[in-house]
Structure 1
Amino acid sequence: MHPSLVCHDLTFGWPSGETVFTQLDAVFPAGLTGLVGRNGVGKSTLLKIFAGELSPTSGRLSVPTSIGYLPQNLVLAEELTVADVLGIGEVVAALRRIDAGAGEPADFETVGDEWDVEARSAAVLTRFGFADVDLDRTIGTLSGGEAVLIALAGLFVAGPDLLIMDEPTNNLDVAARERLFEAVASWRGTAIMVSHDRALLELVDSIAELREGSLRFFGGNFSAYTEALAIEQEAAARGVRSAEAEVRRQRRDLIEAQTKLDRRQRFARSQSDNLPKIVANAKRNQAEGSAAKLRGGHEADLAEARQRLEAAEERVRDDDVIRIELDSTLVPPGRDVLILDDVVLRHGVRVSAHLRGPERIGLLGPNGAGKTTLIDTVRGAIQPRSGSVDLRVPHRLLPQRLQVLDDDLTVLAGVSKLAPGADDNTLRAQLARFLLDADMIARPAGSLSGGERFRASLAALLLSEPPPQLLILDEPTNNLDLDSVRQLTAALCAYRGALLVASHDQPFLEDIGLTGQLELGAP
């Protein structure tokens, strides 16, 4: 396969002076490539450079002639029509004037060779689940997820040499995600996508990992990538153990050599009393030189062993996992947690459910079915039209945008506000288990990166008083990188209470051990 995109010595820094990456070299192959890495490492920035929305500070970039770009936070003007978003608005308007007998020469020029554009667009729209959509329909009448799919359909209609997508599955429901997966799997060109969606990453031909300012490529899909990393890290761990053993051996050899030298020098001093002074001094100098040479050799071997250990340790990743014990959140089996008795939500959806501890329930349904409305109703933020909500245990909500801590307060102060009975030393120890060190918890919450804010928000909820015995999560994996999803999964596996989780991320739901599901339909 010929390379589709080449970076040489690519450097990018913000006007504030913050450097994102330096002298990046990479060759992206043809086919589908998934770009992964931690939040804040520069994935979206790199895609914007590829798409021409940002210019590198220095270096060279070779890209295909035509590029289609789907940004992460797609904002479309509500007055745009479907035809406009597909990029065929002017052609469709010209065709209609020609069909009505009012065509001008400029209209024929606009149409060019695109006489079948409506039929081709209809075929693409059908693939994305819009078989009967009117090209004149405005985007403002569609849901956010539908607008994303229409925009992606437009890129398929255009057929660029390179398709770039940044978190395309964000805010898509299960049905929309399935349509996206089918479309991506059918793409025959080159595509680069940033995604935390493991199911989508299973469709790619290669994985590009952006880590510590460098790009590294792995052949195969996400499963192949994780398997390769696991094998690599196992070998790295063996290398560390071997290097540690070598350091211990060299240290032991140095101690033994030093002991022998000390013994030999004591013996030499006892014998020198019977020798002439000049002879004794010569022997002493010779012995000290030999001792220094021998000691220096052992010290050099120990220094080399330590260097090999440092190199081996660098190959072991420091992607820490949250490890916590949350016995205080335990809900005994069978205890009533939440009872929804014939509840009618404000938009007409009817729900009945009985959640007992420590059950883990997935809240499912298409966009617009009322999942967030149900969550707000359970919490008492809004009232149902009818029916009763009986919430019998302390609860906490992890919202999509992580609005848990006050931006102006330090992390420690914000968590302390939710857990007033805990002293600062106890909280510091607990926060460290959430991978929040002393420097991090002394900073204002508003200054944290995405991954740091996620961990701080999760810690604040789980350490709050009274301990939450029902944790409610609303699309928790949206905008989280794969490491953060892994950390969230580890924390939820340690959580002892009941869970109510609204999510379209099926692998995540499976990993946290769902015991049931509540599916909302249309009113």
Structure 2
Amino acid sequence: MLLLQNLGYNHPNKDVLFDGLNLSIGRHQKVALIGNNGAGKSTLLQLLAGELKPTTGLIQTEAAPYYVPQHFGQFDAWTVAQALHIDAKLAALHEILDGQATEANQATLDDDWTLEERSHDALRHWGLADVNLTQRLSDLSGGQKTKIFLAGLTLHQPALVLLDEPSNHLDTAGRQLLYHYIRTTASTLLVVSHDRQLLHLLDAVCELSKRGLTLYGGKYEFYAEQKQVESNALQQDVQSRTSALRKARETEREALERKHKLDARGRKHQAKAGLPTIVLNMMRNSAENSSSRLKGIHAEKVEALAKELSELRQELPDLDKMKFGFDDSGLHRGKILFDAHGLNYRYGPHPLWPEDLSFQIVSGERLALKGLNGSGKTTLLRLLLGELEPTRGTLLRAASKVMFIDQEYSLLQPQLSVYAQAQQFNTAGLQEHEVKIRLTRFLFTSAYWDKPCGTLSGGEKMRLLLCCLHLSHHAPDLIILDEPTNNLDLQNLEILAAALHDYRGTILLVSHDELFLQQLGVERAIHLSPAPST
């Protein structure tokens, strides 16, 4: 169904993204494509979809791929019909019904008389009953745009499907529909995703890395087990190289000490023997050259081992070092941070929630804010943050230090360099080299220090924010995170989970990622439902 042979792609500036990729996917196979941010997963899907041309290599498919991209802003001028790829047929159908049954219109329609009805059925299936085919995508939310493209799967039943982070903008109901499609479809699937609940539904995992494409012939559980085996082997390799480097340095020191002692003893004998000055100078030069050669031999070995060790450590980021680094919050556990009674908000004549909200948030707990798209989660967050005031009811706020981490990581300033941004949080007055050491711990090597924050990927922004908060040392009473797992690869998901795990304050999460909520120990949720439309 899908075959890649020696596939390579260079960026327009000639930088090589990947080269020599080989992969074969059979009919009806469902494969996950994973890899760290920047590895080229989305670019590879664009190549397979025919939106980009490969620099080298060959792509063969038995059917035209149906591609659902990760981002939809470039399609805002399109209508829903255009996004579903039915605009030409739909226009031909309407012209025929208006009496223009030309050969061209009949050829375009190709006897697809139920097209409009099936299109509405597909939209209805994906929860878009109120969306019509002439609407512009610019009028729709991110989740609705995703569902439009997914509705095309129901409508066209393509044999080969390419999905790029399809669950990113979906609420819980939308995700369940997507999971059902993946479980039941007979189509061949290649899916880029960090959604572990989705990954568990696929037959095999293919990882894109610097080593190329590696196909793991089992489900995600098998992949995770194999990666743990590889990680353990890498840990052992690092320990072995560390030991070898230490021994090489000791050997170098001992060899030079022995050489110096022998040289000193030889000089004493030479002085007693009364040899001519020219002979003594020749012997001294010979000894110095011999010491230099000996030092060079050991130095080369030490340098080679140090380089190998450095490269291995770059493949093994230490999650324990990538944490907030806060002191514990000064609030006692159980203190009421927010107390809401009969809370509601109006954007127009009608309240946002059908029933007024009453709840408490207390210090030390971890809870989720749940609800379908349009249920008012963002509004409630703005009420908690004091950006809005309720139009009905009361909301008492006792949390003085609240940190809000949104999907765009707007705590970071896009125009600042990575190093300058870190300095903004350097409340302890650490020296430059100490700040840079901490940046390196969070995988920001010297190549990143002068990069503007606005050029970083979502995962890189998350890691930089963790580093900045690590530098600040001031523990907030409450951390609010809005869809924190969106646009993060699996490695950065683990980094974020490890950082949040050790934070001892209060956490409020807006997330549809159930596995991530379980990982953080979330035990309670505030459920929102929107008021019925009138």
TM-score, length-normalised on structure 2? 0.79
Matched with 1:396 is 403
1:478 Cα offset (Å): 1.2
Alignment of 1:99-138 (within 5 A): 103-115=101-113, 117=115, 128-129=126-127, 136=133, 138=135
Distance 1:139 1:187 in 2: 29
Q: Find out whether 1:422 has 2:428 as its counterpart.
A: yes
Matched with 2:520 is 512
Task: Say how many residue pairs are matched.
Answer: 507
2:509 maps to amino acid: V
Structure 1: where are the runs of 5+ without partners?
none
1:229 Cα offset (Å): 1.0
1:512 Cα offset (Å): 1.5
Matched with 1:162 is 160
Q: Secondary structure at the match of 2:331?
A: coil
Question: Residues 314 and 225 (structure 1 numbering): CA distance in 2 closer, same or farther, change over 3 Å?
Answer: farther
Matched with 1:235 is 233
Distance 1:418 1:342 in 2: 39
Distance 2:237 2:447 in 1: 32
**Are the aligned partners of 1:86 and 1:155 in contact in 2 as well (CA < 8 Å)?**
no
Q: Find out whether 1:408 has 2:399 as its counterpart.
A: no
Q: Deviations over 1:40-74 (max 9, x none)?
A: 23222222222222223x21222324121111112
The 10-residue stretch of structure 1 (383-392 or 207-216) with the greater mean CA deviation from structure 2: 207-216
Question: Residues 108 and 512 (structure 1 numbering): CA distance in 2 closer, same or farther, change over 3 Å?
Answer: same
Alignment of 1:83-94 (within 5 A): 83-92=81-90, 94=92
**Are the aligned partners of 1:396 and 1:470 in contact in 2 as well (CA < 8 Å)?**
yes
Matched with 2:384 is 378
Question: Residues 384 and 430 (structure 1 numbering): CA distance in 2 closer, same or farther, change over 3 Å?
Answer: farther
Matched with 2:461 is 453
Question: Residues 362 and 388 (structure 1 numbering): CA distance in 2 closer, same or farther, change over 3 Å?
Answer: same
Q: Find out whether 1:485 has 2:508 as its counterpart.
A: no
Question: Residues 478 and 18 (structure 1 numbering): CA distance in 2 closer, same or farther, change over 3 Å?
Answer: farther
The percent identity for this pair of structures is 30
1:355 Cα offset (Å): 0.7
Distance 1:274 1:102 in 2: 119
Q: Find out whether 1:25 has 2:21 as its counterpart.
A: yes
Matched with 1:66 is 64
Question: Residues 366 and 323 (structure 1 numbering): CA distance in 2 closer, same or farther, change over 3 Å?
Answer: same
Distance 2:78 2:247 in 1: 74
Q: Deviations over 1:215-249 (max 9, x none)?
A: 22222233222211110121232234345555666
Task: Find 1:348's aligned residue among 329, 349, 352.
Answer: 352
Matched with 1:218 is 216
Q: Secondary structure at the match of 1:522?
A: coil
Q: Deviations over 1:131-159 (max 9, x none)?
A: x6676573667543233123122134334
1:329 Cα offset (Å): 3.1
1:313 Cα offset (Å): 6.9
Question: Residues 406 and 360 (structure 1 numbering): CA distance in 2 closer, same or farther, change over 3 Å?
Answer: same
**Are the aligned partners of 1:20 and 1:42 in contact in 2 as well (CA < 8 Å)?**
no
1:397 Cα offset (Å): 0.8
Distance 1:409 1:249 in 2: 43
Q: Secondary structure at the match of 1:327?
A: coil
1:310 Cα offset (Å): 6.0
**Are the aligned partners of 2:35 and 2:207 in contact in 1 as well (CA < 8 Å)?**
yes
Distance 1:259 1:423 in 2: 42
Distance 2:422 2:259 in 1: 59
Distance 2:449 2:398 in 1: 33
Q: Secondary structure at the match of 2:412?
A: coil
2:332 maps to amino acid: P
Task: Find 1:359's aligned residue among 365, 385, 391.
Answer: 365
**Are the aligned partners of 2:459 and 2:487 in contact in 1 as well (CA < 8 Å)?**
no
Question: Residues 249 and 66 (structure 1 numbering): CA distance in 2 closer, same or farther, change over 3 Å?
Answer: same
Q: Deviations over 1:308-352 (max 9, x none)?
A: 786577556233421343124353211121122221023521322
Distance 1:359 1:135 in 2: 43
1:200 Cα offset (Å): 1.3
Distance 1:269 1:84 in 2: 91
Distance 2:445 2:133 in 1: 54
Q: Secondary structure at the match of 2:8?
A: strand
Distance 1:96 1:446 in 2: 47
Matched with 1:325 is 325
Q: Secondary structure at the match of 2:431?
A: helix
Q: Secondary structure at the match of 2:10?
A: strand
Q: Secondary structure at the match of 1:334?
A: coil
**Are the aligned partners of 2:323 and 2:470 in contact in 1 as well (CA < 8 Å)?**
no
1:522 Cα offset (Å): 1.9
The 10-residue stretch of structure 1 (86-95 or 204-213) with the greater mean CA deviation from structure 2: 86-95
Instruction: Please report the RMSD computed on the Cα atoms of aligned residues, expressed in angstroms.
Output: 4.2
Distance 2:183 2:215 in 1: 20
1:26 maps to amino acid: N
